[in-house]
Structure 1
Amino acid sequence: MEQITLEGVLSHAVLDSISNFWFRHLEDDHVIVPGIEDATPWFSQSDAYDQECLDKFGALLELMKLIQPSSADIIAAAKPCTPLHWISLIILLDQLPRNCFRDAKTGIVFTLFDKLALEVATQALKLNIPAEEQVRFKLVYRFWFYMPMEHSERLEVQESLTKAHSDMWHDYEMLLEESVDRWDSTLAQYRAVLMGRKDSFEQFRSTMQGICESKKDILYRFGRFPQRNDALGRSSTLEEIKWLKES
């Protein structure tokens, strides 16, 4: 019987299938500047969408649960060679487990997959992948590089996230402010889309900033995310219990 290996299940074709599935609903202009509504499939719980994720990628996640690979093992097996390959790995580790392991199964998201996702994303950042032309000014791709940081309970990671987001927003502000004459034809196209969808951009940015600030406030207050306590077998303090009831 042929042995199943990480290399065999993390081919470039598999990575392409992840990004094709995850971004399938987006129009070209919305890849550059998404609207809040574009994020609905990802961040609004849907039994039908969860089932699709399970059908397509559940077996791969179960294999990872079984073999408990390191992030280095995953990167070596997948051999990501494009920014979208890196994004697919991050989505596989950071997002798809949230669709596939809900309720009583959620603990594995925090104990295994979030750690792997953060390490893979950190490596992508070390390689400066978000600055590559394929993703730098395509917001719907770029913000995924930072999502694993958003899920971390470590305050220093959250502070690094604030800096990473600041750098990202600065790129877009520069694109808004500079003359088209300064850019090549591709960047001029990105700028034209950004100018035409400026309201959507501002709404998306404001929403992201609000969510991240809220999470950071929770960590400053409790030192952890109390909503994870049950899944992780942690006892909640009285203050956390009160907050959970009010949230």
Structure 2
Amino acid sequence: MPSDEQSAMQPILRDIHRYWFGPLAAPADRNPEKAEIWFKRSDETDAHIRETWGDAIAAAAAVAWDLDELSREEQVGLIVLLDQFPRNIYRTTGEAFAYDRKARAIADALLVDGLDRFYLVEQTFVCLPFEHSEAIADQDRALLHFAEMAVNAPEELAEAKRLGLDFATKHRDLIRKFGRFPHRNEMLGRESTEEEKAFLAEHGRGY
């Protein structure tokens, strides 16, 4: 039986799922307009997430989750809350990555039975905690998951899944080269190497 804390958060997780994905009636459904909040930096989006769910992140991290008692939507909403929303709320600080370990542990537990039980658009976000990791084993795992998605994608999602695989490859290659994401160094108070400084001078994109 879920704890009172978990039960109190389940409606919040459903709200997050609706906000992030829109209505999904079937496994291949998607709402393309939602890509605006996923991939386009917006102060308005960040402010909305902060004001609506800012307090929920730490609360969720403190819950001892019984994941089997969550619906599919609630499970995915929990990943979005812990993995995506800190990146919106704490975008320029190390706090953006503070919940990555928790999100990754939950994703690991959810994927014991494979990707197939999640809707196609949800699969990307269930796997992103591994892509966000600075451990090469997690990066290799992310790459395998995104390759699986690309191979199995229906025609209408093939391009999106191909792009997902391309991004996963770029993330893995950075970790293979540097052992960490150089873009995070300043936010985490880490000193960049000369090689990392040269990379950062050439590439403005951060992970």
TM-score in terms of structure 1 length: 0.72
- Of 77, 85, 103, the match for 1:117: 103
- Of 59, 75, 79, the match for 2:65: 75
Query: Structure 1: 5+ residue runs without aligned partners?
Result: 173-193
The residue identity in structure 2 corresponding to 1:16 is: R
Alignment CA distance shift 1:14-1:38 (3 Å) = closer
Matched, 1:226 2:182: yes
1:152-171 matched pairs, under 5 angstroms: 152-171=133-152
1:137-216 matched pairs, under 5 angstroms: 138-172=119-153, 194=154, 198=155, 200-216=156-172
Overall identity of the aligned pairs, in %: 28
Are 1:229 and 1:235, in contact at CA under 8 Å, matched by a contact in 2?
yes
Larger Rg: 1
2:76 is aligned to: 87
Alignment CA distance shift 1:238-1:158 (3 Å) = same
Query: Cα RMSD over matched residues?
Result: 2.6
Q: Deviations over 1:81-138 (max 9, x none)?
A: 22111101100000011111122xx21222x211111011001012x16322xx2xx3
Q: Deviations over 1:9-61 (max 9, x none)?
A: 8532111111111123x6768x7265876422112110111111011101222
Deviation at 1:154, TM superposition (A): 0.6
Alignment CA distance shift 1:160-1:8 (3 Å) = closer
**Cα distance in 2 between the residues matched to 1:10 and 1:98:** 24
1:32 is aligned to: 28
Alignment CA distance shift 1:165-1:60 (3 Å) = same
Larger helix percent = 1
**Cα distance in 1 between the residues matched to 2:200 and 2:44:** 28
TM-score in terms of structure 2 length: 0.85
